[in-house]
Amino acid sequence: MVNTITLKNPSSAKRYLFMITWPIFIEVFLQILMKLTDVFMLSFVSDQAVAAIGVVNQLMTFMFVLFNFTAMGAGVVVAQYVGANDKDGVRKTIASAITINLLFGLAVSLFVGLNRHFLLGLFALEPELYAYASSYALIVGSALFAQAMILTVSSLLQAMGHTKDVMASVLIMNVLNVFGNYVLIFGALGFPRIGVTGVAISTATVRILIMVGMFVLLTKRMPVKMSLSSFFKLKKEYSAKILHIGVPSAGEQLSYNVSQLVLTIMITTLGATALATRVYSQNFMSVLVIFSLSIAKGMQIFIGQLVGAKKQDEAYAYMFMGFKFAGLVTIVIGSLFALFGRQIFSFFTDDPSLIALGSTIMIIELFLQPARTSNLVIISALRAAGDAKFPVLIGVTVMWGVLVPLAYLFGIVLGFGLPGIWMAMLIDEWIRGSLMYFRWKKKRWMNKRLVSVKI
């Protein structure tokens, strides 16, 4: 069944937001924990292995953005249909989303598998790093279609209010991933010891298994019964609604990830230490955004349902509630990372230059993260309300007009290295975060609802 939204007073609204958000928090934590576990276990192979897989995962993240345009768009549309109490709209949107991303995922898997050498050639990788990266990209890239379906089904289940199902699926994924990594990296329980290749095999296999399990869950949670064949049908009207949100949303994330790829290319010219520091730092900082991401996901569902029910005034007020909470928690945790940065890096590596550089990055992150929180939460709220074009317009303009030029100036031309590139990221996040805040305050998103009310 679909979990519809009923708000009698502010306390019931907060309770509802908490009920849909706490499983998302655990899910996001587990997703990040899985990445950290991979990094930690690969650190027993070498820092070079960590750096190489970090580059490949940057490419994989780029592909995830392409898949996410359908997942995000469908999630927003389904949430609004839930708010409008339109079960037929939910059903047809889900069928269209599944079909689009399955076909797209298969195409991307084929492309990455066949063109990995070209993609990796964009980075000035040392021979040892390239060997690790090529093996990993072939195996994981060929199974990208499974990740496309996981992203889509997760978004659909969450939009219907079934956030606990997604949390449970990610928990199982973590357990299987750790087991697969352990036996294939270290050769335990009679399995071959194959290092980076083992991590790739574990990742691909687990994603395929979870894809199947989550699809079974989706069939059980549908508001109306559907045959297997009915899940794979495109409806023009509903596909258009998905793309109306998904394409601009993907454009903003695509711009961000391409700009990050460009920064990674710059960083590779600074040497293996700088590249490894970036990979470690990104994984550590992912802990900082757990609260921001979970609040952003929860707010997207909550605000989408409110807007679908034509309760824009409530949506306006409740966004600030989530925004303030996420910002406060981010600052507290960021302060701890800045204070104990050296000790955190020492747990993963014994390279003194890497530890020193990483602890500097932790201090910069303390000032960067509040702005990143603003972007995550408010952009999700704007998207949920149907206002998806403004974030991509601002994102493309600022990322390519400010971030990339300043990163090159500070990091390469002026010779500040990795800290200089991080300072450019700080400036970029604060400019975009401020603009998103004022967009929400002006309420121009209030007339962009996608569905009609049937309550």
In this prediction, residues 244-252 reach a mean pLDDT of: 78
Q: In which band, very low, low, confident or very high, does the pLDDT at 13 lie, cut at 50, 70 and 90?
A: low
pLDDT of residue 12: 65
**Which of 347, 374, 171 minimizes the C-alpha distance to 291?**
374
Q: How far apart are CA 225 and CA 348, in angstroms?
A: 49
What b-and-e string marks burial along 401-440, b requiring 16 or more CB atoms within 10 Å of the CB? eebbebbbebbbeeebbbbbbbbbbbbbbbbbbebbbebb
pLDDT of residue 160: 85
Amino acid in position 62: F
Q: Is the pLDDT of residue 371 over 60?
A: yes
C-alpha distance across the termini of the chain, in Å? 16
Q: Is the pLDDT of residue 451 over 50?
A: yes
Q: Is the pLDDT of residue 453 over 60?
A: no
pLDDT of residue 407: 95
**Residues 6+ positions from 36 with CB-CB distance below 8 Å:** 283, 284, 286, 287
Residue the block writes with tokens 């820092």: 47
Q: How far apart are CA 391 and CA 376, in angstroms?
A: 11
Residue the block writes with tokens 């709209």: 89
Q: How far apart are CA 168 and CA 102, in angstroms?
A: 23
pTM metric for this prediction = 0.72
In this prediction, residues 108-127 reach a mean pLDDT of: 78
Q: Per-residue pLDDT tens for 300-323? A: 888 888 888 888 888 888 888 878
pLDDT of residue 234: 67
Map 50-98 to HEC letters.
HHHHHHHHHHHHHHHHHHHHHHHHHHHHHHHHHHCCCHHHHHHHHHHHH
**Residues 6+ positions from 177 with CB-CB distance below 8 Å:** 34, 37, 38, 202, 203, 206
Highest mean pLDDT among 45-49, 141-145, 421-425 belongs to: 421-425
Contact 369, 391 (CB under 8 A): no
If one compares 424 and 277, the residue with the highest pLDDT of the two is 424
pLDDT of residue 358: 87
pLDDT of residue 1: 42
pLDDT of residue 452: 60
pLDDT of residue 2: 43
Q: Is the pLDDT of residue 343 over 70?
A: yes
If one compares 2 and 386, the residue with the highest pLDDT of the two is 386
Q: Is the pLDDT of residue 284 over 90?
A: no
Contact 219, 91 (CB under 8 A): no
Q: Is the pLDDT of residue 429 over 80?
A: yes
Q: Over the chain, what is the mean pLDDT? A: 82
Contact 407, 346 (CB under 8 A): no
If one compares 243 and 426, the residue with the highest pLDDT of the two is 426
What b-and-e string marks burial along 153-183, b requiring 16 or more CB atoms within 10 Å of the CB? bbbbbbbbbbbbbbbbbbeebbebbbebbbb
pLDDT of residue 9: 54
Token pair of 242 as six digits = 């998905």
- DSSP codes joined into one string, 277-303: HHHHHHHHHHHHTHHHHHHHHHHHHHH
pLDDT of residue 307: 85
Say what percent of the chain tops pLDDT 90: 15
CA atoms within 13 A on the CB side of 202: 30
DSSP class of residue 355?
H
In this prediction, residues 16-40 reach a mean pLDDT of: 78
Q: In which band, very low, low, confident or very high, does the pLDDT at 3 lie, cut at 50, 70 and 90?
A: very low
Q: Is the pLDDT of residue 165 over 80?
A: yes
pLDDT of residue 314: 84
For the chain, what is the radius of gyration of the CA atoms?
A: 21
In this prediction, residues 117-139 reach a mean pLDDT of: 78
pLDDT of residue 226: 65
In this prediction, residues 286-290 reach a mean pLDDT of: 74
**Which of 180, 164, 160 minimizes the C-alpha distance to 25?**
164
**Which of 287, 446, 169 minimizes the C-alpha distance to 177?**
169
